[in-house]
């Protein structure tokens, strides 16, 4: 696959994740080629790549369309992610945390505690929290040293983000940001993170795996609960 095809796939992927390209939207090769100033070949290659990532689907009648995800799809993604990230935690505990990765998680936890203990839970704090949360989980995934595992986890992480971003766009007039997780969920998440780091430092592989699985499955339950409350 050409470099140009990868560049186009990256651009389209971001548009899908942020909700700019809506579910069931047809992705026609000719208009896309014109938009990106290229021929149809790299467009077709990029769409095939996104098809492999389950972000678009192809049918003989409609061509490529942006895939739509249901709440059930998101719940399944969390189930798979719980197993995979649990495995990553076990590997890290068995390998042992490097000083660099340990320091990154320490820094994340300290700032998370400051945010949770503060008097404000507004857009700036929410944005920073989700960035820190991503960095925390990503550090564990990288520390596992398993590239294939990391690639599979990325796919499971995308689905909830796509789902959440689309709900934000649909409800922007109500100013409901980060609808799927409450401030209380964030406090619970911090407690989970602290226990996970403790188990990693203690080289407790089974405990680290179990804690991460439970942590992610709690997020799954939080999404179900909040979805019913906001959209039910």
Give the model confidence (pLDDT) of 124-135 as tens digits: 888 899 899 999
Kind and range of the H or E element at 33? helix 29-36
Question: Residue 60: CB partners within 8 Å, gap ≥ 6?
Answer: none
Report the distance separating Cα 172 and Cα 207, nearest Å: 40
57 and 166 belong to one structural domain: no
Domain containing residue 102: 71-231
Q: What confidence tens digit (pLDDT) does each residue in 24-82 have?
A: 899 999 999 999 999 999 999 999 999 998 889 998 888 999 988 888 888 899 999 99
Cα separation values, 182 from 35, 66, 176, 177, 179, Å: 39, 29, 11, 10, 7
At residue 169, the pLDDT reads 45
The more confidently predicted of residues 123 and 187 is 187
Out of 27, 46, 66, pick the residue that ends a domain.
Answer: 66
206 and 124 belong to one structural domain: yes
At residue 28, the pLDDT reads 94
The answer to whether the beta carbons of residues 93 and 204 sit under 8 Å apart is: yes
Query: Is the model's pLDDT at 105 over the cut of 90?
Result: yes
Q: Is the pTM of this model over 0.85?
A: no
Q: How many domains does the chain have?
A: 2
Contacts for 32-40 with beta carbons within 8 Å, 24 or more apart? 32/8, 36/8, 36/11, 38/4, 38/8
Cα separation values, 215 from 4, 102, 139, 196, Å: 39, 19, 16, 9
Residue with tokens 């979805």: 227
Question: Residue 189: CB partners within 8 Å, gap ≥ 6?
Answer: 133, 215, 218, 219
Q: Could you tell me the CATH number of the domain that includes residue 10?
A: 1.10.10.10
At residue 176, the pLDDT reads 39
220 and 110 belong to one structural domain: yes
């Amino acid at each position: 696959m050409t470099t140009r095809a990868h560049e186009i796939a990256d651009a389209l992927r971001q548009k899908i994740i942020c909700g700019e390209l809506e579910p069931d939207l047809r992705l026609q090769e000719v208009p896309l080629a014109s938009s990106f100033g290229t021929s149809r070949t790299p467009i077709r290659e990029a769409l095939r790549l996104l098809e492999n990532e389950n972000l678009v689907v192809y049918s003989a009648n409609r061509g490529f369309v942006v895939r739509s995800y249901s709440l059930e799809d998101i719940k399944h993604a969390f189930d798979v992610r719980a197993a995979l990230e649990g495995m990553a935690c076990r590997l890290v505990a068995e390998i042992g945390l490097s000083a660099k990765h340990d320091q990154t998680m320490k820094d994340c936890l300290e700032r998370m505690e400051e945010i949770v203990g503060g008097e404000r839970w507004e857009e700036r704090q929410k944005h920073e929290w989700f960035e820190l949360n991503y960095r925390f989980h990503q550090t564990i995934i990288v520390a596992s040293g398993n590239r294939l595992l990391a690639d599979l986890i990325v796919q499971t992480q995308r689905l909830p983000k796509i789902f959440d971003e689309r709900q934000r766009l649909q409800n922007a007039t109500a100013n409901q940001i980060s609808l799927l997780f409450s401030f209380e969920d964030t406090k619970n998440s911090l407690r989970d993170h602290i226990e996970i780091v403790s188990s990693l430092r203690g080289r407790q592989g089974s405990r680290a795996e179990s804690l991460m699985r439970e942590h992610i499955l709690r997020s799954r339950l939080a999404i179900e609960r909040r979805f019913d409350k906001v959209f039910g």
